[in-house]
Structure 1
């Protein structure tokens, strides 16, 4: 409570600020302030102030002045203002005046009452002063509409004050602004009379408890590094998600609301509002932004990069609010802690990227992918890179400071060149992604050494490169890597497919004579036998190959059929009539052109061939036809399944 016989309001160093209710000269010595006016001011103040003396047994001891009668509350504040002016006058005229002693006693009573009112308003209006209500108001410090309504108060307007408080805002905001104006009026009155210390002490204690309680309800605790070392990653990841949600609310609502409230209530004194906000927010906000630093110090691996980037993005997104809210020198430590956390996160994220690259390079899996399909390293790596691309804004800040320590001119020629200055950072991300994919392609190339069949090696490379291209085309990677990258890698895919055809089907292609030529019936027989043998061998081997992507599968089959079936059809049409008189012609010429198309159409599903790889001349056609029918049946079942 206010202390007895306090005289600090007489000091020339006392805070001087305009009253909330009416303007008056900054100097306490008003030349027109006559003796009679002074006496009347003291008498008026005595009647009002003694009524609300908290030490009397009357009902006013337990009733709130500002809640009970707003008209009297305003009169009380005006009386305190006039009493202070009267005391300044009395001191200048006669410091031993009995009126001065009376005024001094009245001032003590008034300050005790205002201290009690300030505490009651802060304590009983937490719902109207919650940070969300406060921060929801666009300009708290300029709520002159409320203050004007109090300045121009008269008996007819008193009952309609909240209605006049501003029709453009909600009832909750109206009530909140009225409470805030009351606090401001009391604070300015107490500070101007030398009782600022008591006022500030109450404010700090109550509002700090509200901030601490608010953060606790959001799940924010006191963070200590020792606990993080013992924590499993699943628990830590859950804490990260909660921290991001809590911090968005904490900064944008809790701390912002407290800053706005503090600025409004103590707008008359910059030093007071800075001191109050420091005591209320500094410790809690510093602890809040220490969490990402502690997370960043934990063991780094690429699997943990995404929560780290989420933390980085959360702080970056809030940085403008952080700078605005914690702009006082006294709370500069909060910004410093947030910057430290950002820097530690950048280091940890870059370390995770390095770990990811190393994981690709060190992959030692020797297991062959059945049928030359897509390797699990390709799937996991492209899934990871495509997910990384969704965080390109975060990565751009990091990779711009950590360029690849290699000659990357060749890589830069692959990716889209930046056209605007703000694309330079994204260019660094693009080059890095191009490098990671190149590392993957090189690793896949080394894995082809485990395939003994050359055609299977090329099919493996084609399948995996096609998967990579499709992943790039269907994700944000397309925008980062650009058209040139896609074109160059599609050309490489076409080369792989072409090499596969040559390695897998060249014996079949070469089993037919080169045009133009005229063959004898005996020579035609030799070429028919040679072709049938070559095709059977190639078909039985290639039927176990797999091409998972339907589009690539169809393109390969069309390409093979276009080269093979057309050439065989012409050979068949020209030379079959020569053999018309041959006995067992169906054994000698086992394939019709349409048969070839059927066999080729069922390639690349990974369906194994039934039977031996060497067919007798008498049964090979039957077995091959039977195999073809089985393949068709299995593929039909698979499509319905």
Structure 2
């Protein structure tokens, strides 16, 4: 457009003077050019930085914004007048004069554009731009000329001073850009914009702690170092999408609203490298990172970050020229999803390969139970994205799972049943492993321990399900069925560990018997109870509720019967026989000892009990 004023055209007959002819009358366009030149020359030469020391050190838009608006108006009017005159006489002396003024004015605007961009870096930072009160990026320049002061005044009442300044700067940049582009000086304007704004984006990415990495870098990094980099990236992607790239897109759309092609080329060149570094990290991590269950959570964090910002990514990088950014982000999602699936398969394999042969002391909670349930409860926090990741992952069908393990009818996971099935399947594998471990107690002659082991470990599984998002994936019916199994295991334990104590007392504890018979029953009870107590005092039940339920159930079976027998026959049997008391335990003593069971270090001191000895005895007595 800059050369349009000098294109050779065929002159009209009215503009050509023949020999002996009089000069033609002044045309309307010529008179308009005279007026335009007269007005434009005054203001343009005033701000000629080559001839005015004042203009060289002063900013037009900063010094007098009203005059700046007039300067822009004169430049636009001069351009219109030049287009009118060129069609009549391309060699007009006025046209050449106007072109000289145009060059001076564009040079001035080029400097103003640079100054506004560079001096307002703090006010045009992406955060200020992205949070400012929105102005229409599609409005015409005349809207801003007519209503600019009113808008700025209203903005000053509702937004911060920084946002107010950024609004003014953005408006001025748009005025200059549209004037320069319409006059054929868009290349100079765009060059300045790209250089300054790209440096801001690149600096922003660097300050966010994101650096370009290669596959070899990822392979060589210790996991602790890599995890720090991932944490920095997670913070960076949130700031980048909400602020950095979003603010840059808003500014670019606003300044170059008059040209879609310029908007696209500017934004693409400014952000392409920064976006490539940002999403390149996740893509390379997903491709190059060693597969490990421990890395699945950071992979899910990154997957969640990209997925949650996908709408912004798709909107901000919507240009055809930025499709590579969208493609890179999508590739990162796919690769991260594959990494998660591989890690989960590896986790399943690790459970099945566990070869723990040493039984847990006290039939307590096995470390495999703790590790697996901690892992699964944390995974359940990512249930939303796992639904997408596991949607096409082969999983055992619900029908292949035992009804006692999983019934999806009560699960809140109707949209992604594969997700619930997969969690239920891993828990089933764990329970099968525990069942195999329980047999180790049976082989050592401690059959009762095997049932207590199953009860305590299954109770831990239920507790982790209840206190995590697993409860929404597996459903209340699943929990109820497992609680029934815990009660069954506990009942089997009580029968094997304590039934011989119950049977050491007569069926009718208050029936009249001889002194010798009474002594014999006391001896039987003493031996049976001491044997059971000594053996079971090694057991540990970590869950307080289950511990109390088992102890209370045992007490109900023993204490009431023993109390009746004790109250009926203790008087006739008090005495010494072979230096041992025939009656060694009062009912309260039995209750105290039972109260001390199933704590770590039980049997050594009653003070370790979280429930007082008398409390258990009292509850047992009252229940009868």
What TM-score, normalized by structure 1, do the two folds share? 0.84
- How do 1:568-587 residues align onto structure 2 when only pairs under 5 Å count? 568-572=562-566, 584=577, 587=581
State the 1:598 CA deviation: 2.8
Task: Give the Cα separation in 1 of the matches to 2:421 and 2:366.
Answer: 24
Equivalent in the alignment of 1:378: 369
Which structure exhibits the higher relative contact order, with contacts defined as CA atoms closer than 8 Å and separated by 6 or more residues? 1
Evaluate the alpha carbon distance shift between residue 349 and residue 102 of structure 1 in structure 2; reply closer, same or farther with a 3 A threshold: same
2:29–2:85 contact (8 Å) kept in structure 1? no
Equivalent in the alignment of 1:358: 349
2:5–2:86 contact (8 Å) kept in structure 1? no
Equivalent in the alignment of 1:80: 75
Task: Give the Cα separation in 2 of the matches to 1:477 and 1:419.
Answer: 10
Task: Give the Cα separation in 1 of the matches to 2:145 and 2:320.
Answer: 34
Evaluate the alpha carbon distance shift between residue 568 and residue 517 of structure 1 in structure 2; reply closer, same or farther with a 3 A threshold: closer
Mark the runs of 5 or more structure 1 residues left unpaired by the alignment.
12-31, 610-629
Equivalent in the alignment of 2:183: 193
Equivalent in the alignment of 2:22: none
Aligned to 1:221, what secondary structure does the other structure show? coil
Equivalent in the alignment of 1:470: 463
2:137–2:257 contact (8 Å) kept in structure 1? no
Q: Which one of the candidate residues 382, 394, 397 is aligned to 1:391?
A: 382
- How do 1:43-58 residues align onto structure 2 when only pairs under 5 Å count? 43-58=38-53
Equivalent in the alignment of 2:3: 7
Aligned to 2:605, what secondary structure does the other structure show? helix
- Which stretch of the first structure deviates more once superposed, 198-207 or 567-576? 567-576
- Which stretch of the first structure deviates more once superposed, 511-520 or 556-565? 511-520
Q: How many residues align?
A: 588
Task: Give the Cα separation in 2 of the matches to 1:73 and 1:516.
Answer: 110
Equivalent in the alignment of 1:623: none
State the 1:476 CA deviation: 2.5
Equivalent in the alignment of 1:283: 273
Task: Give the Cα separation in 2 of the matches to 1:195 and 1:33.
Answer: 28
2:408–2:474 contact (8 Å) kept in structure 1? yes
1:501 matches 2:497: no
Q: Which one of the candidate residues 225, 231, 239 is aligned to 2:221?
A: 231
Task: Give the Cα separation in 2 of the matches to 1:637 and 1:414.
Answer: 35
State the 1:239 CA deviation: 0.4
- How do 1:84-163 residues align onto structure 2 when only pairs under 5 Å count? 84-142=79-137, 148=143, 150-151=145-146, 163=153
Equivalent in the alignment of 1:315: 306
Q: Which one of the candidate residues 424, 435, 450 is aligned to 1:434?
A: 424
State the 1:321 CA deviation: 0.9
Instruction: Give deviations 1:431-455, integer Å, cap 9, x for gaps.
Output: 3222222211111111112222101
Evaluate the alpha carbon distance shift between residue 186 and residue 634 of structure 1 in structure 2; reply closer, same or farther with a 3 A threshold: closer
1:296 matches 2:286: yes
Task: Give the Cα separation in 2 of the matches to 1:335 and 1:33.
Answer: 55
State the 1:472 CA deviation: 1.8
Instruction: Give deviations 1:281-330, integer Å, cap 9, x for gaps.
Output: 11221221111112223001111111111111111111111111000111
Evaluate the alpha carbon distance shift between residue 564 and residue 637 of structure 1 in structure 2; reply closer, same or farther with a 3 A threshold: closer
Equivalent in the alignment of 2:16: none
Instruction: Give deviations 1:87-146, integer Å, cap 9, x for gaps.
Output: 111112122221111112222222222222212221222112111111112423359799
State the 1:424 CA deviation: 3.1
What TM-score, normalized by structure 2, do the two folds share? 0.86
- Which stretch of the first structure deviates more once superposed, 82-91 or 596-605? 596-605
Aligned to 2:234, what secondary structure does the other structure show? helix
Q: Which one of the candidate residues 483, 490, 501 is aligned to 2:476?
A: 483
State the 1:515 CA deviation: 5.6
Task: Give the Cα separation in 2 of the matches to 1:546 and 1:552.
Answer: 11
Task: Give the Cα separation in 1 of the matches to 2:575 and 2:131.
Answer: 97
Task: Give the Cα separation in 1 of the matches to 2:432 and 2:610.
Answer: 37
State the 1:580 CA deviation: 6.0
State the 1:512 CA deviation: 3.5
Evaluate the alpha carbon distance shift between residue 565 and residue 145 of structure 1 in structure 2; reply closer, same or farther with a 3 A threshold: farther
1:146–1:165 contact (8 Å) kept in structure 2? no
Mark the runs of 5 or more structure 2 residues left unpaired by the alignment.
8-26, 614-624
Equivalent in the alignment of 2:260: 270
1:61 matches 2:56: yes
Task: Give the Cα separation in 2 of the matches to 1:562 and 1:205.
Answer: 84
Aligned to 2:157, what secondary structure does the other structure show? coil
State the 1:409 CA deviation: 5.0
1:350–1:398 contact (8 Å) kept in structure 2? yes
Task: Give the Cα separation in 1 of the matches to 2:488 and 2:612.
Answer: 31
Task: Give the Cα separation in 1 of the matches to 2:541 and 2:533.
Answer: 15
Evaluate the alpha carbon distance shift between residue 93 and residue 505 of structure 1 in structure 2; reply closer, same or farther with a 3 A threshold: same
State the 1:533 CA deviation: 2.6
1:386–1:477 contact (8 Å) kept in structure 2? yes
Instruction: Give deviations 1:195-216, integer Å, cap 9, x for gaps.
Output: 1111111111111111111111
2:509–2:561 contact (8 Å) kept in structure 1? no
Task: Give the Cα separation in 2 of the matches to 1:299 and 1:162.
Answer: 55
Task: Give the Cα separation in 1 of the matches to 2:154 and 2:521.
Answer: 104
Equivalent in the alignment of 1:211: 201
Superposed CA RMSD in Å reads 3.1
Q: Which one of the candidate residues 130, 137, 157 is aligned to 1:167?
A: 157
State the 1:152 CA deviation: 6.6
Evaluate the alpha carbon distance shift between residue 132 and residue 418 of structure 1 in structure 2; reply closer, same or farther with a 3 A threshold: farther
State the 1:581 CA deviation: 10
Aligned to 2:429, what secondary structure does the other structure show? helix
Task: Give the Cα separation in 1 of the matches to 2:163 and 2:142.
Answer: 15
Task: Give the Cα separation in 2 of the matches to 1:418 and 1:494.
Answer: 21
1:146–1:177 contact (8 Å) kept in structure 2? no
